[in-house]
Amino acid sequence: MNAPARVEAGFRLSEVDPGGTPGIDKSDAEREMADSAEAFSDLQERLFAESRAGGTRAVLLVLQGMDTAGKGGILRHVVGLADPQGVRITAFKAPTEEERAHDFLWRIERALPDPGLIGVFDRSHYEDVLIGRVRALASPAEIERRYEAIREFEAGLAAGGTLVRKVMLHLSRDEQKARLQERLDRPDKHWKFNPGDIDERELWDEYQAAYQLALERTSTPEAPWFVVPADKKWFARWGVHRILLDALRELDPQWPPADFDVDEQKARLAAS
Amino acid sequence: MNAPARVEAGFRLSEVDPGGTPGIDKSDAEREMADSAEAFSDLQERLFAESRAGGTRAVLLVLQGMDTAGKGGILRHVVGLADPQGVRITAFKAPTEEERAHDFLWRIERALPDPGLIGVFDRSHYEDVLIGRVRALASPAEIERRYEAIREFEAGLAAGGTLVRKVMLHLSRDEQKARLQERLDRPDKHWKFNPGDIDERELWDEYQAAYQLALERTSTPEAPWFVVPADKKWFARWGVHRILLDALRELDPQWPPADFDVDEQKARLAAS
C-alpha cells in the first residue's frame, strides 16, 4: 500500500509500466478507499472550516494525461467523493481568443482555488508545454521560458499556502486504442470522441517525449509530479485518491477556535 | 412516494408541518435514492453530452431556508451524488460592495450554470426579498419591484432552456434551536455558528411571513417553488433528490448523434 512515488531527478517515464499496479491489488485498493472515506471527508471539512476563520490554505490537483487516460473517471469517482461545496473543478480546453491574447498563465490564475478549497485542473498550463511543444504552437525559446515560468508560478502558489500536486495518468498506446474503439463502437460514447484524438494519437512518441521533459523540468519539492499507471482504472483511482488524502494529511487542518463567547451565545439561544 | 408538491395559488406555509414526512418512510426513501442513482447519473451525463453537441439546456436548483435548515447537507448528500464535472455550486453571502453597486440580479446572472450543467444556488436572489424585507434593507416599493423582476428574470431563464426549480427547506423553530445548540456544544461545529444566527432567529415570524410572500409572488409554472419539510434530514434529502431527478426526467436529454463518420474514424483508428 505504498503511495505513488514523486518524480525525482533521473526519472524516466519510459521505465514506468502503464499496466502496472505497484504495491496494491484491486480488492485492497477498493477497501482502502472505502475505509478512508470518513477521514478524507473530515480533513476536507477542516480545511474548509479553517478558511472560514481566515485561513488561506488550499489544495491544487493538476490532472494530465493523453486522451482517454481517465481524467473524467478520476473527477467522478475520486474527486466525487469530496463534498462538492469544497471543490472547484476547471476543465481547460484550447484557449479562446481572449486567453491567447494574454500570457499562458493568465487563465490559470483566474481558476485557482479559493482558500479552503480543493481545486482540480482537468488539463492545465501544462498543455502549453505539451501540445505547445508537439505542435510547435510556440517557439522553442518560448517553450523553454515556460518551464521556468511554471516553476516560479507554482513556487509562489506553494508559498501562498496552496499545496500543489500534479498527476500524469500514464496510459499505454494499446489501451488508448481499446478505449477509443469503445467510444466508436458505442453510440452513447460518440459524444466523447473527436477525430482530433486520432491526430494526437499519431504523435504518441512526441507526446511521451514532451511529458518526459515537462516532468523533469517542473517536478519540484514544493510542486511535485506523480506518474500514476492508468491502464487499470481502479489503480489510477486509488493512486490519485491516495495522493489527495496524503496532501490533506500533510496540511493537517484543525478546527478553528470559536471567535465568540460560547457561554454567552448559549444563554442567548436558551432565551430565544 | 409522491414527489414534493409545487407551491400553487392559495398555498399557506403555516399549514405545512416541518416535521412531516408525507408519502414515504425512511427506509423507502433511502432505498429509492440508492435505486435511482444510476438513472440520475445517466440523465446527468446525457444533459452534459447534449451541451457538447451545441445544446443549451441546463438545470438551476435554488436552495433557501433558515439557518441550519440543512442546505449544506443537501449539497453534500444530494448534489454530491452527481458527477462534479456537471455541477456548479454558488454560495451567496451578504453582497460585497461591488455587488451592492449593481442591481440585485447582477451577481446572480454571473453565477448561472453553463449549458449542460446543474447549477445550485446556496441562498440566492431570494435573500433580497427575505432578509431584504425583514431587515428593511430596501424600501417597500423596491421589494415589490423585485418580486416582479424575479418573475421576469426566471421566465427568461426558462425560455432560454434552463429548467428552474426552487426549494425552501422548511424547518421548525424548535428544531433550529436544537441544531444551533449542537453547534454550540461541539467544538468541531463552532465554525458553523455565527452570533448573527440568533439575531435572525429572533425574527422568526417575520421571516416566515417574508417566505410566504416570496413563495406566493414568485412560484410560477416555469419556475415553481417546492416547500420541503426539513426537520427530518432524511426526508429533506429524499425530497430534493426527487425534485432534481424529476427535473432531469422532464428535460429527457438524449445522447447526441455523432458529428463525424463513424466508419471512417474506425478505419483511421485501426491504422493508427
Shortest alpha-carbon distance between residue B21 and chain A (Å): 26
- What are the DSSP E strand ranges found in chain B? 58-65, 87-91, 118-122, 162-170, 225-229
Q: Which residues of chain A have pLDDT under 70?
A: 1-2
In a domain, residue A2? The reply is no
Among B240, B187, B243, B200, smallest CA distance to B73 is for B240
**Cell 419556475 belongs to which residue?**
B223
CA distances from residue A265 to A271, B143, B184, B204 in whole angstroms, order as listed? 10, 32, 8, 17
In chain A, which among 195-214 make CB contacts under 8 A with chain B?
A: 195, 198, 201-202
Query: For the segment B79-118, what is each residue's pLDDT rounded down to a tens digit?
Result: 999 999 999 999 999 999 999 999 999 999 999 999 999 9
User: Is A57 in contact with A253 (CB distance < 8 Å)?
Assistant: yes
- Tally of domains in chain B: 1
In a domain, residue A7? The reply is no
In a domain, residue B221? The reply is yes
How many helices and strands in chain A, by DSSP H and E? 12, 5
Does A87 lie at the interface with B, CB-CB under 8 angstroms?
A: yes
Closest CB to A75 among B79, B80, B85 = B85
| Best to test chain B binding among A42, A191, A193 (most B CBs inside 10 Å) | A191
Does B75 lie at the interface with A, CB-CB under 8 angstroms?
A: yes
Q: So what's the pLDDT on residue A4? A: 83
In a domain, residue A8? The reply is no
Q: So what's the pLDDT on residue A78? A: 96
Q: So what's the pLDDT on residue A2? A: 65
Radius of gyration of chain B (CA): 20
CA distances from residue A140 to A210, A213, B95 in whole angstroms, order as listed? 12, 13, 47
Query: For the segment B117-147, what is each residue's pLDDT rounded down to a tens digit?
Result: 999 999 999 999 999 999 999 999 999 999 9
How many helices and strands in chain B, by DSSP H and E? 12, 5
Four-point Cα dihedral B236, B239, B242, B243, nearest 10 = -100
Contact state of B272 with A195 under an 8 Å Cβ cutoff = no
Strand B225-229 versus strand B162-170 pairing type: parallel
In three-state secondary structure terms, A121 is strand
Domain region containing B206: 13-271
In a domain, residue B2? The reply is no
In a domain, residue B8? The reply is no
Closest CB to A184 among B91, B184, B269 = B269
In a domain, residue A6? The reply is no
| Predicted confidence band of residue B266 (pLDDT cuts 50, 70, 90) | very high
Burial of residue A8 (CB within 10 Å: 0-12, 13-18, 19+) is exposed
In a domain, residue B231? The reply is yes
Among A234, A229, A227, smallest CA distance to A28 is for A234
In three-state secondary structure terms, A227 is strand
CA distances from residue B3 to B23, B58, B167, B228 in whole angstroms, order as listed? 8, 21, 13, 10
User: Is A89 in contact with B84 (CB distance < 8 Å)?
Assistant: yes
Q: What is the CATH number of the domain that holds B72?
A: 3.40.50.300
**Residues pairing with A58 in the sheet:** A162
CA distances from residue B163 to A40, B5, B112, B145 in whole angstroms, order as listed? 34, 17, 12, 23
Measured between CA atoms, the residue of chain A closest to residue B254 is A188
Contact state of A84 with B83 under an 8 Å Cβ cutoff = no
Q: So what's the pLDDT on residue B2? A: 65
CB pairs under 8 A between A and B: 112
Does A111 lie at the interface with B, CB-CB under 8 angstroms?
A: no
Q: How far apart are CA A171 and CA A70, in angstroms?
A: 9
Does A96 lie at the interface with B, CB-CB under 8 angstroms?
A: no
Global confidence as pTM: 0.95
Cell numbers found for residue A161: 499556502
Q: So what's the pLDDT on residue B187? A: 96
Does A254 lie at the interface with B, CB-CB under 8 angstroms?
A: no
Contact state of B266 with A181 under an 8 Å Cβ cutoff = yes
Q: So what's the pLDDT on residue B5? A: 82
| Best to test chain A binding among B85, B192, B203, B266 (most A CBs inside 10 Å) | B85
Query: For the segment B32-67, what is each residue's pLDDT rounded down to a tens digit?
Result: 999 999 999 999 999 999 999 999 999 999 999 999
Averaged pLDDT, B149-171:
98
